[in-house]
Structure 1
Amino acid sequence: MANKPDSREKILQTASRLFQLQGYHATGLNQIIKESGSPKGSLYYYFPNGKEELAAEAVKYTSRYIEAKIQSFMEQVPDPVVAIQEFIKEAASQFDQPETIKGIPVGLLASETALISEPLRKVCVQAFKNWETIIANKLIKNGYEEDEAVKAGTVINSMIEGGIMLSLANKSKAPLLTISESIPLILHRKG
């Protein structure tokens, strides 16, 4: 039997989902408390500095989830092009049932807060960097020069983030699938 998440975990799960889908400004603490089923005191106990601290922790929470997903594909699929394509297809599959989307990256929150909150900007930058590094490391292990791999990690992550925004706006996975199909054009096969 799986352990039930504790109050902190429930608050983070709920806040992460709401910040990803609604954005920072449209998500209120009362909504997070209500939807998480946690007592109001729990939110302030675990996140005494309020919404900004909660949002930063939610970004870290989402980042760890995405990192594990990317890493899993990079470890399980030998060819880096195919590994990246499969990760993107997995992300796209969430748009089959948009109401259950879980773990979409943090672009919406980053775009809303980068100019008004330095702590949130920094935690978003770190999340992006972590994802790009996993992709770059896979490319390096497969014969790409480090500089080329780092640039490709940034380009691919940027494409995924943009594809997620387009998929959300269109309520369709088609933009992400187009990006997946384009990966071989971005990563000229080595060998």
Structure 2
Amino acid sequence: MTGTKGAMTSARLAESMLELIQLHGYSGTGLNTVVEHSGAPKGSLYFHYPQGKEALGEKAVELAAEQFGSLVADSALDAAPPGEVVRRVIDTLAGMLTDSDFRLGCPVSVVTLEMGAQSERLRDACANAFESWIGPVTEYLVAHGRPRTDARAKATAVVSMVEGALIVSRAQRSIEPLRCAAQALAVLLDEGDEGDEGTEASA
């Protein structure tokens, strides 16, 4: 029971850190605010994260990676073509952005931009997060008949374009950049869909 309670407290702290990073950035998020936001007992933060803010930030980035990975997986449950899967993902992200009045961005890009040059630990966490999205998208495209090298390049473009579109959408307070990204990516991913079936999927 103690272990379960401790795991719940640790997760609550990470979830609060993630939400606050989205709202205020990494640098603008203080540990006292995280504890207050999470409702966790005082002193619990350093018990669960003895290495302090960087450790908690790393966990928040990992949590963000898991959440986005689940979104992609859920969007690809049926046999929809890759372009349609990307549209679904972007539609969900656009909804989250408008629901938050354009306040919530991708915490992984936020931490990368703020701390990538200052903390190797956080830079690595962000790099791992991006790779955790690029890798499965690559495998999904391979499963749809794309040669592996091409699939990897397109998966990298997908993640890069979606991340960039999120930033531009927040700046412009409009989901139009996300819509444009969805349209461009659908063309990129579905191009030659018929003809590519059966190509060197495991090359």
Report the equivalent of 1:189: 192
CA RMSD of aligned residues (A): 2.1
Counterpart selection for 1:59 from 51, 58, 61: 61
Provide the C-alpha distance between the structure 2 equivalents of 1:77 and 1:91, rounded to a whole number of angstroms. 21
Q: Which runs of 4+ in 1 moved over 3 A?
A: 99-105
TM-score (norm 2): 0.86
Provide the C-alpha distance between the structure 2 equivalents of 1:94 and 1:48, rounded to a whole number of angstroms. 33
Q: What is the one-letter code of the residue matched to 1:179?
A: A
Provide the C-alpha distance between the structure 2 equivalents of 1:149 and 1:83, rounded to a whole number of angstroms. 15
Report the equivalent of 1:82: 84
Deviating more after overlay: 148-157 vs 94-103: 94-103
Alignment of 1:28-67 (within 5 A): 28-67=30-69
Measured after TM superposition, the shift of residue 75 of structure 1 is 2.4
TM-score (norm 1): 0.91
Q: Deviations over 1:136-167 (max 9, x none)?
A: 11111111110000011111100111111112
Report the equivalent of 2:28: 26
Report the equivalent of 1:177: 179
Q: Deviations over 1:59-106 (max 9, x none)?
A: 011111111111111223421111111111111111221159778351
Provide the C-alpha distance between the structure 2 equivalents of 1:111 and 1:14, rounded to a whole number of angstroms. 20
Measured after TM superposition, the shift of residue 18 of structure 1 is 1.1
3-state SS, counterpart of residue 88 of structure 2: helix
Report the CA distance shift for 1:125/1:91 in structure 2 as closer, same or farther (over 3 A): same
Deviating more after overlay: 172-181 vs 111-120: 172-181
> Does the alignment pair 1:141 with 2:143?
yes
Report the equivalent of 2:199: none
Provide the C-alpha distance between the structure 1 equivalents of 2:63 and 2:106, rounded to a whole number of angstroms. 11
**What 5-or-longer segments of structure 1 have no aligned partner?**
none
Deviating more after overlay: 122-131 vs 71-80: 71-80
Provide the C-alpha distance between the structure 1 equivalents of 2:167 and 2:21, rounded to a whole number of angstroms. 14
Report the CA distance shift for 1:100/1:31 in structure 2 as closer, same or farther (over 3 A): farther
Deviating more after overlay: 161-170 vs 45-54: 161-170
**What 5-or-longer segments of structure 2 have no aligned partner?**
195-203
Number of aligned residues:
189
Provide the C-alpha distance between the structure 1 equivalents of 2:23 and 2:78, rounded to a whole number of angstroms. 29
Report the equivalent of 1:123: 125
Return the index of the structure with the highest Cα Rg: 2
